[in-house]
Amino acid sequence: MYAPFMAKLSSCIFKVDTNDYALLKRAKKEEMKEPGFLDPSDEDVTKRLSPEEISSHCKRATRGTEETTRLITELLTSLDGETDGVLLDDEHNIHIDGLRDADNIYVKCKNVDDAFVEIMVLMR
């Protein structure tokens, strides 16, 4: 239960760069065509993207304070209503506001020609 919760919490805090994600999906779709998929659907492509691929090829950024607070609150209330009285008040919002991206966190280290689509590999 811990790992799925932490994955959901992470998605409340971070968002994936949509342009990088679209390029990665395009590359994965081309890669899938080679072994025999004629035209994989977006759903098929998305299911086959691993967390490691997304992490390696897509920049992530923190969401704003309001959106992060809303998403964490929704996550906590989705736990069968069992939040043990934990709600995000003004004191917690101060901590959430402190979750900001550092400048120049990503460095484009090389391009990879993955099934004829050029995508970048990121160093952290």
Summarised one tens digit per residue, pLDDT across range 2-58 is 888 888 988 998 899 999 999 999 999 988 887 676 788 999 999 999 988 998 888
- Which are the contacts of 93, defined by CB distance < 8 A and separation ≥ 6? 65, 69
Domain count within the chain = 1
Q: Which of 3, 2, 4, 11 is nearest to 72 (CA)?
A: 11
Range of the domain at 12: 2-123
Bridge partner residues of 118 (DSSP): 113
Cα within 13 Å of Cα(98), Cβ side: 6
pLDDT above 90 covers a percentage of the chain that reads: 18
Q: Distance between CA 42 and CA 49 in Å, rounded?
A: 11
pLDDT above 70 covers a percentage of the chain that reads: 61
